[in-house]
Amino acid sequence: MEYNTKIIGREHEQDILQHCVESPRAEFIAVYGRRRIGKTYLVKQYFADAFDFYTSGIYKVSRTEQLKQWQVQLNRYSGKKRSRPKDWFEAFDQLRDYLETRSGDEKLILFIDEIPWLDTPKSGFLRALEVFWNSWAADRPGLKLIVCGSATTWMTNKLLGDKGGLHNRVTRPIHLAPFSLNETERYLKSINLDWSRSEVMDAYMILGGTPYYLSMLRPELSLRQNIDELFFGQDAVLKSEYEFMFRSLFKTSHIYRRVVECLSSKLKGLTRSEIMSEIKTEESGMITEVMDNLEKCDFIRRYKAFGKKQRDILYQLTDMYTLFYLRFVKDYKGMNENAWSTMSDGKRNVWSGYAFEQVCLLHVNQIKKALGIAGIASDVCAWSGIPKGNRAPLNPNQMQRGTVDGKGAQIDLVIDRGDKVMNLCEMKYSTSRYEVTKDYSEWLKERREIFRKDTGTNKTLHLTLVSPYGVVSGKNTSILQNIITMDDLFER
């Protein structure tokens, strides 16, 4: 199919929408994802605003106000004046009356945006939607109902997870994820930001792949100037975004913030029981729901440590904007509007090292492709262990975060392949080619042997370095079986 050239990326999502449009049956499509990710833009651009009915929920207003907006939109699309419906059942009845005036074999595209906001307390909205779909719309082959919502808990629990009449009625759920590095580069070029890949990656390490945040970057400013303006300036728009983002996404937003802020202080991640202990709660069911919803909104990832049991699953904060905000902005009390530009290189470099690791973990598929194993079954995990015997591992100049209290070693990315090979991946941020010193080479060997002894594996172990510009050629690089560069991460 031909993709809409105004939409950057989202090819898979456009394929799904095209399939739904061409489908001979009625389709109920639910597009969900975190705030600012481009859900409304995708639907409006794909259908070129050619809807037979469109309305949007309004944040924090009464049912009366929501129904009034529904009436205005219905009058506009139908060309007929109707009185304001007294409840949602009447509202959907009026919509049905209007649609029944159209030819029976005609395509009908309905779009209800921010649908969770229509479901105000005791409004009866969800049950009215259920009656509309089950009693009429589902039997209208040309009808395509698209709904969007940023309140992911509502979308996943109340709509997709409905146990009543809407159970399994959504025919096509579409989860819209943040941009990849490749999509970010293409998007920035579309808004006249023709930056080097190094600058694009640095922007990604702060703003992540959220299109709305990226759209605020100004071409006439450097990246550092942009970050100052967005986070530290007098009217810094992304300074207040954090609070509103959680309020709009989650009903009990304070609990979600506590979990996220807890994870931000434990960069290696925490188990579910450790999170409960840190935030001082015994409500295990509530924490399970919170973690599931945070993962669905792309704030966190869950991963298992190699050789550990299911209960030892770790949760790690991976949303780039949130990580940056909590590290540098939330508790900033200074008055320097150029705080990021004037920050010492040392502080920025420490941050860049950790942020680069997170970017790599968000692009594991690109790493696999660069390794030539995209088609090979593999499992992705992390590992930490303590060496057996009295010999402590080398730790040259304490330069590696991959140690455990100076006694053990840690690997943030292990790719356990189905072809009897494991890639032990090391991520090193550098602004030029990375130099593999003799000490570092010996340290890598030592850690590889600790891993082999600790896990008891008989697989071949490939030492793999991921660094933006590769490595300086030299005899110490022979320890590495694979070198992945920034260009590899920018692949589709």
pLDDT tens digits, 64-119: 999 999 999 999 999 999 999 999 999 999 999 999 998 767 899 999 999 999 99
Please tell me the predicted confidence (pLDDT) of residue 402. Answer: 44
Is 402 within 8 Å of 426 (Cβ atoms)?
yes
Q: Indicate the domain borders of the chain.
A: 11-175, 179-302+319-361, 363-489
d(CA 76, CA 84): 13
For residue 397, pLDDT over 60 is answered with no
Q: pTM of this prediction?
A: 0.90
d(CA 87, CA 99): 19
Give one word for 73, left, alpha or beta, with left for phi > 0 and alpha for psi -120 to 50: alpha
For residue 170, pLDDT over 90 is answered with yes
For the chain, the helix, strand and coil percentages under 3-state DSSP, each to the nearest 5: 45, 15, 40
Is 110 within 8 Å of 143 (Cβ atoms)?
yes
Q: How confident is the model at residue 284 (pLDDT cuts 50, 70, 90)?
A: confident
* Spatial CA neighbour of 389 closest among 451, 450, 455, 445: 450
Start-to-end CA span in the chain (Å)? 18
Q: Does domain 11-175 have CATH number 3.40.30.10?
A: no
Coil, strand or helix: which one is 173? strand
| CA atoms 270, 276, 280, 286: torsion sign | positive
Fold adopted by 363-489: Trna Endonuclease; Chain: A, domain 1 (3.40.1350)
Which tokens sit at 11? 């090819």
CA 340 to chain centroid, in Å, comes to 24
CA 107 to chain centroid, in Å, comes to 33
